[in-house]
């Protein structure tokens, strides 16, 4: 089903990102949750970080399976490192496994070899990100795109921090959201579908809205490490011309009204930070 012919091997390897974007565009919408230029930014970072991760026991980490898995898996295979992905939806992971296998398998081998999928809460002390450090892994690239609340992101970062090394990169999707403990945008989306009244988060429920996430992540990393740097990534330079926003415009307008998308600080929807000095 996903084994479309997308060029010769030479063509694929000489233009990896074009090939990966073509695979991304074959995904059903519920698995394609990031703009094309964000996907390209992840590809570029994964290529750079994979090249740096020459040492043994280096891994890539991802929370929230989907289009991003395709990019991260490709470069994990290219540099012979493992990709660890967390998602509580094994139904999503099953389709992505099929895509990895059918569309990328002939170039990368079977996903069982390098894709370590964990169908569990990313913040669990027993099966979450923090449990990985006991295996002595270092992480050169992490991408956080699971539950877009600060409570969840902070726990993921706390679990991740001991595995970060000099020059590693921490990246996030939807970093321009504000949710504190509950993603009320998602809650309101489901409530609207059910015909239930929308909760007014700008009225009496203001406790659900806090500081914008990219600033909190920056602060977290600055407190934890001696020196970090915001990356001027491909998405920041190209977000205004992203075909994804045009293609899904009707849905985007609805999402903005419900709060699962924000037009505010759209350049920070994707953000990436490099750890320059550990301590
Ligand atoms: C926005 S989607 C991921 C999109 C994907 N990165 C992409 O590029 O299309 C978020 C996913 O995170 C998962 N999720 C939410 N909270 C989680 C958690 N604490 N641990 C693991 N998965 C979680 C959901 O099941 C959902 O599939």
What are 5-40's pLDDT values in tens digits? 899 999 999 999 999 999 999 999 999 999 999 999
Give the Å distances, CA to CA, from 65 to 17, 151, 215: 19, 20, 24
Answer whether 147 contacts ligand 1 (Cβ < 6 A).
yes
Answer whether 66 contacts ligand 1 (Cβ < 6 A).
yes
CA–CA separation, 106 and 45 (whole Å): 23
Atom of ligand 1 nearest to the CA of 89: 25
- Kindly state the average pLDDT of the residues 135-139: 93
Tokens found for residue 8: 């010769």
Structural domains of the chain, ranges and CATH numbers in brackets: 9-177+212-277 (3.40.50.150), 183-209 (no CATH)
Surface-to-core class of residue 112, CB atoms within 10 Å of its CB (0-12 exposed, 13-18 middle, 19+ buried): exposed
The answer for residues whose C-beta is within 8 angstroms of residue 85's C-beta and 6 or more apart is 61, 62, 63, 65, 69, 72, 93, 115, 116, 117, 118
What's the 152 CA to ligand 1 centre distance in angstroms? 11
Indicate the top mutation candidate among 147, 172, 185, 251 to test ligand 1's pocket, ranked by most ligand atoms within 8 A of CB.
147
Quick one: pLDDT at residue 43? 98
Answer whether 119 contacts ligand 1 (Cβ < 6 A).
no
Q: Closest Cα to atom 14, ligand 1: which residue?
A: 146
pTM of the full structure: 0.97
pLDDT band at 260 (very low <50, low <70, confident <90, very high): confident
Looking at every residue in the chain, the average pLDDT score rounds to: 95
């Amino acid at each position: 089903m996903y084994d479309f012919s997308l060029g010769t091997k030479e063509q694929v390897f000489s233009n990896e990102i074009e090939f990966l974007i073509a695979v991304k565009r074959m995904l059903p919408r519920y698995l394609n949750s990031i703009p094309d230029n964000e996907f390209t930014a992840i590809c570029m970072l994964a290529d750079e970080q994979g090249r740096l991760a020459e040492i043994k026991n280096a891994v890539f980490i991802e929370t929230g399976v989907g289009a991003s898995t395709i990019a991260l898996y490709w470069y994990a295979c290219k540099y012979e490192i493992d990709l660890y992905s967390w998602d509580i939806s094994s139904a999503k992971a099953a389709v992505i496994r099929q895509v990895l296998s059918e569309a990328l398998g002939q170039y990368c081998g079977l996903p069982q070899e390098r894709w370590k999928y964990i169908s569990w809460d990313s913040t669990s002390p027993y099966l979450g990100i923090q449990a990985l450090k006991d295996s002595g892994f270092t992480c050169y690239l992490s991408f956080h795109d699971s539950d877009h609340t600060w409570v969840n992101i902070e726990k993921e970062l706390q679990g991740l921090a001991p595995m970060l090394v000099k020059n590693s990169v921490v990246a996030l999707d939807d970093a321009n959201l504000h949710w504190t403990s509950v993603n009320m945008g998602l809650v309101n989306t489901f409530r609207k579908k059910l015909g239930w009244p929308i909760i007014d988060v700008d009225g009496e429920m203001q406790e659900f809205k806090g500081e914008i996430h990219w600033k909190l992540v920056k602060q977290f990393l600055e407190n934890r490490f001696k020196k970090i740097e915001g990356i001027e990534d491909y998405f920041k330079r190209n977000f205004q011309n992203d075909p994804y926003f045009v293609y899904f415009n009707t849905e985007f307008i609805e999402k903005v009204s419900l709060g699962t998308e924000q037009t505010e600080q759209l350049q920070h929807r994707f953000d990436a930070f490099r750890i320059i000095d550990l301590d």
